[in-house]
A and B are shown apart, each in its own frame.
Chain A
Amino acid sequence: MGEILLQLNNISVVYSDVIQVLKGVSLSVEKNHIVSLLGSNGAGKTTTLKAISGLLKPENGEVTEGTILYNGVNIQNQAPEFITRQGIIQVLEGRQPFKYLTIEENLRVGTATRFGKPYKQDLELVYNYFPALVQRRKSLAGYCSGGELQMLVIGRALMAHPQLLLLDEPSLGLAPLVVQEIFRIIKKINEEQEATIILVEQNARMALQVAHYGYVMENGKIMMEATAKELSDNPDIKEFYLGMAASGIAKSYKDVKSYRRRKRWL
């Protein structure tokens, strides 16, 4: 085992003092790894990311139990201004660009956490990863395509020189070729920038291809964890997430008897 960068110990998250979303989630992330977090809608993946990045607070959520250790420091329930300055940057689900700022201004906002706000060199770096952005640099982000925006928000996060990058569904609503391109770049960022990445995805096949390790969540709990290789070989994962029968061939709908499907593992 390499060095552990982030450790969640049995955390519970409650929204508005009554709605419990996470019920004891533990996970650990090794430095320079890509860890993917899989699970159906409402399993608590996004909430887990927000608990790490501190973005629960503005939504009236709170980590009520457990600890989040980052580089050995307790960061649960800290303000996002503090956590981002420790090098943890979350890329929000659904892209969330600054619509009325140009691409280049969007990227400049990414330097908010850094001392002196240098940006010229970093712009070059981002344009190297995402050459498609260069010709759009002066246009308003609101008028860019979904693929360009996804590149933009990842690039914007890169401007902060993150040590830990939290990506929330980067493939959402993108064409398959664009998804492949984005994942190729995510892999490249992980290798070249030495950024540790936590990847939340519905596209399990893609996510397991680039990830080193994976967790499967259901109902606010971790149901399974293994290396990415083991997960993609696991018959349950194959059936529920990769759309294949246990034998590895695509399953026909006529064989599915939904009422007899196993509802949970373990």
Chain B
Amino acid sequence: MEFFLQLLVNGVCVGLLYGISAMGFVMIFKSSSVLNFAHGELLALGAFFFLSLVTWAKLPIIVAFILTLIGCFILGFLIERFFLRPLIGEKLIFVIMLTVGLAAMFKGFILLIWGGNLYTYPEFLPEAMGLKFGSIYIAPVYSATLIISVIFLVLFGLFFKKSAQGIYMRSVADNQKAALSLGVHVRRVFALSWAIAALVASMSGIVLGIINGVNVHDLSSIGLKVFPVVILGGLDSIGGAIIGGIIIGVLETFTGGYLSPSLRDVVPYIVLVFILMVKPYGLFGLVEIERV
């Protein structure tokens, strides 16, 4: 039972992280219908930026963390401005292929600068952050994950529900033509969704780096894990991304704990197939509101 609870807690923490990183993916898809294949590389870039700021520039952790987030936010903006904007109005498949190209480019860039080795961050999370409930122990990394995830979720919830910019982003996702007719700056919304996506990707990159170590190949393959998460949750549901993330995270730790660690990457996909047979739009996929 203890083992079960321990796995469950770890699974939920990792899953939240997947969910948040999937959220960035969903945002791009919602506002511009683009599948971003470079998501894993954005994640890795964030982790490596943070690595350099901490070990090479020797900045305090908090400063490095915030600088990384700001840097990736700007990077997201620039990606949209220089690579995606020229393709507005072209066929969607071109834009999606472009993200595949971006993925290769970023990966090459990381390999060029940092190489393919496994790095680790210096220990910086205080041991006091670990939580103990009876016999269940939550390691500092996991409790930090939990805290950061919840903070981000609340912030984004408020942003999309209350702030003008958040409502404009949802309006563009909903009906682009109508948004244009009201003067919503649609290109700015695209840029903002890329910026936010890059920001959340870098954040989850850093946390995953703390858990597993920093390596290009590992981190960018986690980008692929975004796909089962979003497909499970429904491609256009931000809440679904979070819940999909938690399900995949829990499945992974359970398989790793009870079956075999080498199966952890496979079982989630098998479950995914079964769920999709029952709910083809994903668990929380948008059910089209249709008026007849």
Contact = CB atoms under 8 A, between A and B. Distances in A.
Interface of A: 53, 55, 58, 60, 80-81, 84-85, 89-92, 96-101, 105-106, 108-113, 117, 119, 140, 142-143, 153, 156-157, 160
A97 B175 contact: yes
Interface in B133-175: 164, 167-168, 170-171, 174-175
A160 B183 contact: yes
Interface of B: 89, 164, 167-168, 170-171, 174-186, 286, 289, 291
B183 A101 contact: no
Which of B164, B178, B291 has the most chain A CB within a 10 Å cutoff?
B178
A108 B164 contact: yes
6 contacts: A84-B183, A89-B182, A90-B181, A99-B175, A101-B170, A108-B164
A55 B177 contact: yes
Given A92-B178, A99-B175, 9 more contacts: A55-B177, A81-B185, A89-B181, A96-B177, A101-B167, A105-B170, A109-B184, A111-B164, A112-B185
A53 B182 contact: no
B182 A157 contact: yes
Contacts of A89: 181-183
A89 to B, nearest CB: 7
A109 B179 contact: yes
A145 to B, nearest CB: 9
A105 B167 contact: yes
Nearest to B161: A105
Which of B174, B176, B184, B185 has the most chain A CB within a 10 Å cutoff?
B174
A58 B184 CA distance: 14
A138 to B, nearest CB: 12
Given A105-B170, A109-B184, A112-B184, A142 B179 contact: no
A98 B180 contact: no
A257 B176 CA distance: 46
Nearest to A50: B181
Contacts of B291: 142
Contacts of B179: 98, 109, 112
A141 to B, nearest CB: 9
Contact of B167 (A84, A109, A157): A109
A98 B178 contact: yes
A146 to B, nearest CB: 8
Contact of A100 (B174, B178, B183, B184): B174
Nearest to B185: A81
Contacts of A53: 181
Contacts of B168: 109, 112
Nearest to A58: B180
Contacts of B176: 58
B175 A80 contact: no
A96 B170 CA distance: 14
Nearest to A166: B181
Contacts of B177: 55, 58, 92, 96
B286 A100 contact: yes
Contact of A96 (B164, B175, B185, B289): B175
Contacts of B171: 98, 101, 105-106, 109
A153 B170 CA distance: 17
A84 B185 CA distance: 10
Contacts of A105: 167, 170-171
Contacts of A91: 181
Contacts of A99: 174-175, 289
A86 to B, nearest CB: 10
A57 B178 CA distance: 14
B173 to A, nearest CB: 8
B182 A96 contact: no
A101 to B, nearest CB: 6
Nearest to B178: A96
A151 to B, nearest CB: 15
A264 B156 CA distance: 59
B183 A113 contact: yes
Contact of A81 (B175, B183, B289): B183
Contacts of B181: 53, 55, 80, 84, 89-92, 96
A143 B182 contact: no
B174 A101 contact: yes
A92 B168 CA distance: 18
Given A100-B174, A101-B174, A112-B168, A80 B180 contact: yes
Given A108-B164, A140-B289, A100 B180 contact: no
Contacts of A111: 164
A97 B174 CA distance: 9
